[in-house]
A and B are shown apart, each in its own frame.
Chain A
């Protein structure tokens, strides 16, 4: 539990949104607007092969025919997005070629973000990183993405020893084109949906991970995303492939500066788990949420999907969503292999005038596939929190099973909590259970705490923490601590 003093300190920082600083470095932009020229510009900037440019152009042409979907449940609505006013590419002017060339300002930025010291050291190129094997196991390899460009990836050497490829998407296109070409768009096709198609046309950078057969990735992999420049969108693309029997755990964190206008973040994440592989993907999303009146903040419209391609594979999504003006995403799992498993653990908090419409999709194709969904929604202030999810059991999904639990709590009388699950069963041996509840914080529990001298605010924080425990326990250690703090801070001021 986070104490009141700590909350006070942290929330003071948050009042201006702790991560709301702007780094003043020279950047190179694509002029705002989107047409074939923009796509060619991005592709040329990144010196991409012909096939990738073609793929981008195909996506662009498809996108131009599409209309923005409107089914998302946003009680406050949102001002329309002018896609021609966004700059689709922003990059630090000096592309870093070696550690020494990384702009110190960028490194400063990541320091402010609280990336652990060992990684900052590594980012700075200072010798003396973790030495002992015990320390190395706790280490986290970081790929930092600043606006459109991946700045630096740490621990490359150690990963290489294990045979793991972890690099920026641009680098992967250059160094491992055969792998990228095989898997890019294989889970989220370029024509999947409006925002994924837009991403396919203009994606700037992102991370690429390949874990070869039988390899258990020796450390946690992590990406920090940062939107810095004004009037830019961030369109990163992450692709993670775990070959037969491989295992990998991946963390993602995001921040952005305080801006009065809304900024678009339309990322795509694709996960491929082959036979017996296990991918664990954790997100702590803390984009700038806007202010109490709903001014500014990030539109977080992201497509995340994993496929359990081989038998006995497993994909697990864990997300803690506390930021963004609007969060609209459904990390999904396609359970194709027999006996494969999909998991989704989510905590979504909406405060201020934040709106979230998030959940998951579990598509059961293989036999004896299992999925578990645990979603915890917390609404405070004037926040509107929606869980939307699909559980689909196809004809061949014999004995497939789903368990869904989605609980919401409401703090204050100006917020809303909504639940829209979809269950589609086409196999009589498949079973699906869905449970949902919506309540306010139990008064008797609150009374119990306050009667024992715990302040009301601490008691609420304690109870909300208990409410989220099932999800937090899925997070890697460092993230769980961070999530705890983030939650306490985000809730500050919502009581009384």
Chain B
């Protein structure tokens, strides 16, 4: 249940761009189901107070103070990654900076608006199929604002030739912009795709909101890898939802890294709808300053003999706060489910805080489900071990923190992403700079 805020919230009154009637109908349905934004009285938002977001007067569009150049794009995207790229600047698609060529036979990779016109049937068949599972006001708001975003369609038996990077760049605007990116990824039977959602900012003191929803429909026997790299401005708000519906024997990997943002909420909501599916949910959140990084996982086993693995790690420094809520739901009849969830957190300062809620909700008897959560600091004995071998204490600590984080990105298949994250971690750990780390 959602409690309604006392005062009207600006972003709830925003109007989306004109669209075909069926899109309009989809938006209206969502808006009718939206009574307000969540408060800490809502169990799902208990540890994340969005008052600063609610208190910001957002607009849908605002003039940018700086033109984004191809040079900027080259600098901001994942280095050395040969990927198709779709660039959005402050929520608006920029075709001049994008490149969607050479993806493979029959692959459709275009903007949502273009797909409304040219692939209406495909979009209509899948839109909402995964996101309806996520009962959350921000997801409904994204439904109601549906317009900008990426539509990717990979036909049966085809694998995309290159990964696809959706690069969202925030610039300094006259007024804070609220964007609601919406991506729909449909991967056919036995098909394959790798998609990166990458959020970056040109300027690090800028306030804005990205309320993104990505729907991933993974057909039977498909193989999909999804990355969310959240490197927003540290004044920004990012709410990202990845809603997955996977078919029989489909293999889906989701990797999330939260580094930027003032208040960030990362929802990953897979439904294993076909038998013998496999889902890996891997995440890392690294906070400092006053950052608030909230992760909400909800893995639903709706079919028998599926496997799910959740590995989330948090490193919190300064006054930052990390939140992890992970729920495994096993439906009646989802026998032989094998689900594992672990959440490990490291606190680096006296003021940092972590809330962990690992949850199991099980309605079938022949299952194996485990979850574990730990919170602590760098192991003193390990530090001592390194020091006894001649390393200074700060370097030993930095190495151990790095190793803790590295376990998360070592699960990723794209080496350029791993390298980028290794560099990010080293930048955050000054004492690790001198170390030679191979990725």
Contacts and interface: CB of A to CB of B under 8 A. Distances in A.
Contact of B359 (A418, A427, A439): A418
B407 interface: no
Contact of B354 (A414, A423, A433): A423
B349 A428 contact: yes
Contacts of A425: 345, 347, 353-356, 375
A432 B373 CA distance: 8
Nearest to B373: A434
A426 B353 CA distance: 4
A420 B46 CA distance: 14
A413 B356 contact: no
A440 B366 contact: yes
Interface string A403-447: 000001011111111111111111111111111111110000000
A419 B360 contact: yes
A51 interface: no
B43 to A, nearest CB: 6
A418 B370 CA distance: 11
A420 B376 contact: no
A422 to B, nearest CB: 5
A430 B376 contact: yes
Between B43, B362, B365, the greatest number of chain A beta carbons within 10 A of the residue's beta carbon is seen for B365
Interface in A221-274: none
B355 A422 contact: yes
Given A428-B348, A435-B370, A419 B359 contact: yes
Contact of B357 (A410, A423, A432): A423
A423 B362 contact: no
B367 A434 contact: no
Contacts of B357: 420-423
A430 B362 contact: no
Given A413-B364, A418-B361, A424 B353 contact: yes
A419 B365 contact: no
Interface residues of B, number: 34
B355 A439 contact: no
Given A418-B362, A419-B360, A439 B353 contact: no
Name the prevailing secondary structure of the B interface residues: strand
Interface string B176-216: 00000000000000000000000000000000000000000
B373 A421 contact: yes
Interface in B353-406: 353-377
B87 interface: no
A431 B361 contact: no
Contacts of A436: 358, 360, 370-372
Between A412, A417, A418, A428, the greatest number of chain B beta carbons within 10 A of the residue's beta carbon is seen for A428
Between A416, A425, A433, the greatest number of chain B beta carbons within 10 A of the residue's beta carbon is seen for A425
Contacts of B358: 419, 421, 434, 436
Contact of A411 (B349, B365, B370): B365
A482 B293 CA distance: 48
B353 A419 contact: no
Given A416-B361, A418-B361, A424-B354, A429 B370 contact: no
Contacts of A423: 354-357, 373, 375
A432 B362 contact: no
B14 interface: no
A176 B370 CA distance: 50
Contacts of B375: 423, 425, 430-432
Nearest to B353: A426
B359 A440 contact: no
B101 interface: no
A417 B361 CA distance: 6
B373 A437 contact: no
A440 B367 contact: yes
Nearest to A443: B366
B368 A439 contact: yes
A121 interface: no
13 contacts: A410-B367, A412-B365, A413-B365, A415-B365, A419-B360, A423-B373, A427-B350, A428-B352, A433-B374, A434-B358, A435-B372, A436-B358, A437-B368
Nearest first, the 5 closest Cβ-Cβ pairs linking A and B are: A428-B347, A410-B365, A431-B376, A423-B356, A419-B360
Interface of B: 43, 332, 335, 345, 347-350, 352-377
